[in-house]
Structure 1
Amino acid sequence: MNSSTSAAFWKGKRVFLTYPNSFLGAWTALSLQHLGAQVFGFGESLESSPNLFDLTNLGQTIAMTYGDLRNEESLRQALQFAQADVVLHLGETGFLKDGEQRPLELISKSVLGTAQLMELLRETASVRSVVVLGTDKAYVRANDNAAVSESSAVGPSGIFATSKLCSEFIALSYRDSFFSPEKYNKHKVAIATARISSAIGGGDFSSEGLIFQAVQSFLGKKTFEVRNPQSVRPWIHVLDQVSGILSVAQGLFEKGPKLSSATYNLGASEYESVGEVMKEFSEAWGKTWSSVSVADSSKSLSIHGQLNSELALTELGWKPQWDLSRALVETAKWYQGYYAGHSSVEELTGVLRSFYEG
């Protein structure tokens, strides 16, 4: 188990989790259940199928409220019912194209939804720890592509990234105005944001995901074209990402104002080209690189930003537990099992034991 994620801490904790039906949200809810926590979910119903939330029957095993975060009364009732110790606000998750297709809706849900949640936390006496999720794309890209730390400059970019940054600013504004670390002994609430990149892992059925596109090609369902195999990206397994989020929440709960930062980077430890990762994933699946079609390898090199996560290691003891090879093998095993008909909840979530107990 990652030394920063304690089953003893999470056992019996009441956790309010927004959007548990997203890919990241489902693995977060499953992890919390595995660690012995009681999960209270809040989010809108999913239109896409299959999805990990439904496959693992989370709708029946957590206390789930379907609603819009901007709906004050619905959210108030859910929070009052949960009487949560910890709030994990994953917020609107999705790909960047979502911002292009519905920018006003995305901005409204992200900004006003976060503001509504933070406002209602002022009257929720049970909460001690709050984590609001941000994105690595909030940072201004440096010309030398040096790894960015929590003190690096942030700024607007695409709609999705900007809406997430605004969500962080709302949360941190409430932290400064109503939950100041200097007055912690009065309100007993510790708040921080956490910035992450995209993750890989079984159960992601998004048509835009590189791994799922590769899976579909292996199954003969579509041709997968890697449009820029030289693009260098961060690679991290979703359970390492979840353990990072839980580490921030646990640190806030146990240390409160003793933590030095209002924001923590939870970044990957490995950065590889898409082409190399697709080759390794093909091998993990038992296929060869020739099964993946490369559309144009002559396109310009694209390098994604790198997160410096030293602060999370120093203050929280967190770092990715699985290297890229292990992450790809576990991801391949999950999809192979699923498409072979191994669809029981125990089979779908067996990877939790390997991660948290292995």
Structure 2
Amino acid sequence: MDHRFWQDRRVLVTGHTGFKGSWLSLMLANAGARVSGIALDPPTSPSLFEVAQVASVLENHLICDIRDLSSLSKAVEKASPQIVFHLAAQPLVRTSYDDPVGTFATNVVGLVNLLDCLRTAPELQAVLNVTTDKVYANDETGRRFSEKDALGGKDPYSASKACAELVTTSWRNSFFSQSGIEFASARAGNVIGGGDWAVDRLIPDAMRALDCSEPLIIRSPSSTRPWQHVLEPLGGYVSLVEAMVREPTSYSRAWNFGPALGDERTVSWVADYIASRHNDFSWRAGTESGPHEAQLLEIDSSLAIDELGWHPRWSVEQALDCTLEWYAEYRDQADMQKCCIRQISDYEVS
């Protein structure tokens, strides 16, 4: 991350009250950017946004539903962005089965609303739409998906994000390319890190079980995921945007940001690793099958490695250690904004 690039640059982060959005806002503000955020209230309590006092580093903290075009237009006008990171979403697979209409409305219509507002943003240079590694038509063979693979989505969340990729391509070709606005998408997966309290996610569920001195019930112990610390893809996002602005037309496409080859792990491996660091933590397999979720999921980040010079810096073990350290400091009532900034700085120099 080139701090000189971000100094005093006006940046809009949608979804800034969420887990990834809070980390990204802190990272950008720490580099000297003037950060505005558009989002709903924090999705959990507690939340990283609150415990790390993210609002204190923002130029504008704007509560707005991206499905409300009129309110969104006013918020975008106030932020007057030069760079936009779009993270606002309904991000959970299982929630998408309970609320498919809301999932598509947020992840597809909300994106279209934002892009329509950005068409008239006077100084806009680049937009990055953050989707997911789940946009691919997953045949469950374990092969690593590249950006050239077909889009798909068996569950509503994955399908909505595949639709968002199609919207990105359409908007780039129909509008942004003519006006000189760079527009790319970024695909990453199961990020971990301190400050995540979402439901139906392994690390938050494990921390809750640890705090309650109860065993963690895991529904799919054998599922494989591309685990990585949240700072890994965020580092990729900022590097990508820097490249988009410096070399227009060269980087406006889809990009994967996944862990290093061989760093994919099963859910049970991650649970066992946590148990090795906490003697009072245990887990067992549950009997609930639940709706369909991919068992095998790996992505190929060769494009980002070869063309951006980005590469994963922390192993899955380092990522877990850093995450567990964050929650330990939180239990000790430390200054969590300082903790986040320290971990960001450690990542940047690693």
Fold match, TM over 0.5?
yes
**1:218/1:287 contact within 8 Å kept:** no
| Cα distance change on mapping 1:64 and 1:305 into 2, 3 Å | same
**1:225/1:292 contact within 8 Å kept:** no
Q: Aligned equivalents of 2:336 and 2:233: distance in 1?
A: 24
| Corresponding letter in the other structure for 1:179 | F
Alignment of 1:125-164 (within 5 A): 125-142=122-139, 144-164=141-161
Q: Structure 1 residue 41 and structure 2 residue 33: aligned? A: no
Q: Which residue of 2 aligns with 1:278?
A: 271
Alignment of 1:1-358 (within 5 A): 5-62=1-58, 63-142=60-139, 144-180=141-177, 183=178, 187-259=179-251, 262-269=253-260, 270-283=263-276, 285-287=277-279, 291-295=281-285, 303-358=295-350
Worse-superposed segment, 111-120 or 214-223: 214-223
Q: Aligned equivalents of 1:132 and 1:46: distance in 2?
A: 20
TM (norm. structure 1) is: 0.90
Shift of 1:344: 4.6
**1:342/1:348 contact within 8 Å kept:** no
**2:15/2:87 contact within 8 Å kept:** yes
| Corresponding letter in the other structure for 1:227 | R
Aligned to 1:194, the other structure's residue is in SS state strand
- Contiguous gaps of at least 5 residues in structure 2: none
User: Quick one: percent identity of the two aligned structures?
Assistant: 28
Q: Aligned equivalents of 2:153 and 2:225: distance in 1?
A: 21
Worse-superposed segment, 82-91 or 330-339: 82-91
Shift of 1:325: 1.2
| Cα distance change on mapping 1:286 and 1:195 into 2, 3 Å | same
Q: Aligned equivalents of 2:213 and 2:175: distance in 1?
A: 53
| Corresponding letter in the other structure for 2:124 | V
Q: Aligned equivalents of 2:97 and 2:37: distance in 1?
A: 27
Q: Aligned equivalents of 1:16 and 1:349: distance in 2?
A: 20
Shift of 1:293: 2.4
- Contiguous gaps of at least 5 residues in structure 1: none
Worse-superposed segment, 32-41 or 213-222: 213-222
| Cα distance change on mapping 1:87 and 1:47 into 2, 3 Å | closer
TM (norm. structure 2) is: 0.92
| Cα distance change on mapping 1:333 and 1:154 into 2, 3 Å | same
Q: Aligned equivalents of 2:342 and 2:51: distance in 1?
A: 14
- 1:80-102, Cα deviation, whole Å (9 max, x unpaired): 22221111111204211221121
The count of residues paired between Structure 1 and Structure 2 equals 343
Shift of 1:221: 4.1
Q: Aligned equivalents of 1:6 and 1:265: distance in 2?
A: 21
Q: Aligned equivalents of 1:143 and 1:226: distance in 2?
A: 20
Q: How well do the aligned residues superpose, as a CA RMSD in angstroms?
A: 2.1
| Corresponding letter in the other structure for 1:92 | A
